[in-house]
Amino acid sequence: MKLFLKRDTSADNISFMIYDNMGLPKYSVSAEIGNWMKMVVFSGEGEQRSVIRYNKLMLDYFTILCQKRFYVLIPNIKNGFAFTIYGSTYKFNGKPGDDFYMSAPDGTVVMTHKRCRSSGMSGFEITINDEAHEMFLLSAAICADMYLDVSEKQKAVPLPT
């Protein structure tokens, strides 16, 4: 299944829209920002499907609550870009930038993520090969996009001298 993730700035609290391969809205992601960031993934019918939190304590990490399961993703940028994932046997692989994938313990790719540009639209193409875990895989892709976006913004802010 292919999904397309696009940042949405048209509404105050919606940060992403996720479209199916026909271009129809499938999910929306709203965000609340305070001392932490909370993102909620809603289905097209308005049903809450996943809750993602970006936390900064002694380290940056994400928590995902979906399908009655809890996951923790800790960014690991030593060897490219990856997350150490607690709560799942999937492995996250990638390099700094826009392309990454997740694989099962046997090496089977269960999700890919890449930047795509088409006529007037820029976003990300997410291919999910394990539909039973679609919401977790989609949530992990959102975490990666948000982490990379936050990291780029932190690099762009000049340090006080």
pLDDT tens readout for residues 46-68: 899 999 999 887 888 999 999 89
Q: Is the pLDDT of residue 87 over 70?
A: yes
Q: CB of 19 within 8 A of CB of 8?
A: no
Predicted TM-score (pTM) above 0.75 = yes
Q: Is the pLDDT of residue 90 over 90?
A: yes
Q: Is the pLDDT of residue 26 over 50?
A: yes
**Between these two residues, 8 and 125, which has the higher pLDDT value?**
125
Query: What are the phi and psi torsion angles at 128 (to 5°)?
Result: -110, 120
Q: CB of 31 within 8 A of CB of 13?
A: yes
Q: CB of 129 within 8 A of CB of 62?
A: no
CA–CA distance, 128 with 95 (Å, rounded to integer): 19
Length of the chain: 161
Distance from CA of residue 73 to its chain's centroid?
11
- Three-state DSSP at 76 gives strand
pLDDT tens readout for residues 107-142: 999 999 988 865 555 788 899 999 999 999 999 998
Average pLDDT over residues 63-86: 87
Q: CB of 139 within 8 A of CB of 66?
A: yes
Task: Read off the amino acid at residue 109.
Answer: V
